Amino acid sequence: KDVPLPQSKADQTEEKLDLDIWKSVMRFQVPAAEEEEKLGGEEGGAAPSGPGGGVAGQEEVSPLEATRELVVMWRQAGKLVPETMTDEELGILAELQTKSSKKKYLKYLAIKEGHKKSHKQKQEKRKAERSERFLEDDRIRPDGLRGEEGELRNTFLLQFWGRSLDKLLGWRSAQAMVFGQPLVFDMSYEQQMTRREVENTVSQLMEVEGWNRRASEPFHLHFCNLQPDGGYRKELVKRYGAEAWQRLLITSTEQRHVDLFPRDDLVYLTADSPNVLRTFDNSKVYIVGSMVDRSIQSGLSLANAKRLKLNTARLPLDDFLQWETGAKNLTLDQMIRILLTLKETGRWEEALEYVPKRKHDGFYQEKPQQD
């Protein structure tokens, strides 16, 4: 950089230095805007008014561009905003009404970006380590044989591929489709959720399906009230991929659960229910509302159950756990793991291991009286 560095350092004795020297330093520098343009700015067409137009050329900037610039400056100011944004994200940002919602969205993007970046870094590190290990091995045994590990042995099993496991689990799921106990996920809450919440719900549902598939005795999963042209289905198909979604061994239907099963068999599981689920009944069909509620809309699923005159129940969390913080509603994947364990063993202590530890302070000592 072309800065008058040396002279100030030279006379350190009478160093009552020029307090305003930084101003001249800054003034001598090329404006950052121009520098960026010289590097071949991606939005070359947006600012054709030429360099130095930092002030003059701004009048005709589109709101989208203004938003992008604001984000850049916020980043420079040390705010939590992402480094790069796609045009789609920028569009969403520009549409948000309030400043706080904009900041919230930017923070979300920034955190997401950070995760992505750290994941990539880890991956690269692992890759480097692996190739180094191979090099090491090669150096020790240049002939290519890698000790016991690599030798062909007399073995009982052929290689157990992921494919084989998939096949096994697939058989099990197919069996569950025919003979298994139904478990319903009620997908009727799309209207009450925002986009983010629908996305979160779909992530949870995918985990649900995964845990169920790996269980020794899976449920027969039903996705009820799934509207064929709704955002829910769209997101599910997008996340699974159209083909995998078709092959999924679950029942997804736009019918209501009350139309599929006898009403007396249905039990709606909701944390707002006044009834406590004491024992898991293998002849019942339990319903879980698939909904993520980031705002406060209490009692939605209870209202739904009341409307359809269904039995309701909640998990006996307070009977077994010393509840500390957090809401009593659990995520969908926690629910299915609890239900799977109950189905298999019928023991609450074991099932409630899946309640997040941060929410409670351990189990109660004595068993609650049975009634």
Partner 1 sequence: MSSLLILKTRICLKYISPLFNPSTAGFTPLNNVISKLSVSSRLLCTKGGSRHAGNNRKEDRQREFNIRERLPFPKSVFAAGTAKRTAEYQKKRAEEEPNFPRKNKRVEPPDHPLTASEWKSLKLISPNPDRFDVRMMSSMLADGTDINVAKSLLAYVAMDTGTLSYELLLRYLTLCVGSGHHSEVFDMYDIMRSRFRTLDTGASSLFIKGFSRTERWKEALTILENIKRAITPSPRNYGDTIAGAVLHGDGDTAWALYAELMEKGLIPNQETWQALFQCGLSHQGHEDGLQSILLHMRDNQIYPEETLAKDIKAWFESLPEQKWIGSWSPVDPRGVCRSCQAELESIQLSREEYAQLKDRVMGDVIQGRDIFNKTTPEELESFKNFVKRKPAFDVVIDGLNVANIGIKGNQSQTLLEVVSELERQGLVILVLGRKHMQRPSRSWDRHDMSLVQQKAHCFFTDNISEDDPFLLYATLHSGNHCNFVSRDLMRDHKACLPDGATRRLFFKWQRGHQLVLSSYTPGKRVRFQRILSYDTIVQTNGGSWHIPYDENGAERCTYEVPQKWLCLTKAK
Token output for 170 = 């697939």
Of 165, 174, 244, 276, the residue at the interface with partner 1 (CB under 8 A) is 165
Q: Is 282 in the site for partner 1 (CB under 8 A)?
A: no
Residue number, 124 or 361, with CB nearest to partner 1: 361
Distance from first CA to last CA of the chain, Å, rounded?
Answer: 81
d(CA 283, CA 107): 47
Chain positions 175 to 214 lying near partner 1, rule: CB under 8 A, are: 214
Of 15, 88, 243, 371, the residue at the interface with partner 1 (CB under 8 A) is 15
Length of the chain counted residue by residue:
371
Of 106, 176, 208, 215, the residue at the interface with partner 1 (CB under 8 A) is 215
Token output for 371 = 């009634």
Q: Is 157 in the site for partner 1 (CB under 8 A)?
A: yes
What are the b/e assignments for 134-165, b being 16+ CB within 10 Å?
eeebeeeeeeeeeeeeeeeeeeeeeeeeeeee
Q: Is 144 in the site for partner 1 (CB under 8 A)?
A: yes
**DSSP secondary structure, 180-196, as one string:** SPEEEEE-TTGGG--HH
**Minimum gap (Å) between residue 146 Cβ and partner 1:** 5
Closest CA to 354 of 322, 327, 317: 317
Chain positions 91 to 110 lying near partner 1, rule: CB under 8 A, are: 98-99, 102
The sign one gets for the Cα dihedral 338, 339, 341, 347 is positive
Chain positions 231 to 260 lying near partner 1, rule: CB under 8 A, are: none
Q: Is 33 in the site for partner 1 (CB under 8 A)?
A: yes
**Minimum gap (Å) between residue 233 Cβ and partner 1:** 23
Q: Burial, 23: exposed, middle or buried (Cβ in 10 Å; 0-12, 13-18, 19+)?
A: exposed
What distances in angstroms separate CA 93 from CA 70, 176, 276, 339, 346, one per listed residue? 11, 45, 44, 40, 49
**Minimum gap (Å) between residue 237 Cβ and partner 1:** 28
Q: Is 150 in the site for partner 1 (CB under 8 A)?
A: yes
Of 10, 139, 161, 178, the residue at the interface with partner 1 (CB under 8 A) is 161
**For residue 256, which phi and psi values (nearest 5 degrees)?**
-85, 155
- Amino acid, res. 193: M
d(CA 128, CA 141): 20
Residue number, 118 or 322, with CB nearest to partner 1: 322
Chain positions 47 to 76 lying near partner 1, rule: CB under 8 A, are: 54-55, 58, 61, 63, 66-67, 69-70, 72-74, 76
Residue number, 188 or 204, with CB nearest to partner 1: 188
**Minimum gap (Å) between residue 139 Cβ and partner 1:** 13
**Minimum gap (Å) between residue 228 Cβ and partner 1:** 24
Choices 24-32, 106-114, 193-201, 230-238; region in contact with partner 1 by CB under 8 A: 24-32
**For residue 81, which phi and psi values (nearest 5 degrees)?**
-135, 155
Choices 173-181, 193-201, 251-259, 343-351; region in contact with partner 1 by CB under 8 A: 343-351
| Rg (alpha carbons) of the chain, rounded to whole number | 30
Instruction: State the number of binding residues for partner 1 (CB under 8 A).
Output: 78
Of 77, 140, 178, 242, the residue at the interface with partner 1 (CB under 8 A) is 77
Q: Is 306 in the site for partner 1 (CB under 8 A)?
A: yes
Chain positions 347 to 366 lying near partner 1, rule: CB under 8 A, are: 347, 349-350, 361-365
57 secondary structure, DSSP code: G
Residue number, 48 or 63, with CB nearest to partner 1: 63
The sign one gets for the Cα dihedral 105, 111, 115, 118 is positive
Q: Is 20 in the site for partner 1 (CB under 8 A)?
A: yes
Q: Is 29 in the site for partner 1 (CB under 8 A)?
A: yes
Element containing residue 334 per DSSP (H, E): helix 332-345
Of 40, 84, 160, 295, the residue at the interface with partner 1 (CB under 8 A) is 160
| Spacing of C-alpha 94 from chain mean position | 24
Of 188, 225, 290, 304, the residue at the interface with partner 1 (CB under 8 A) is 304
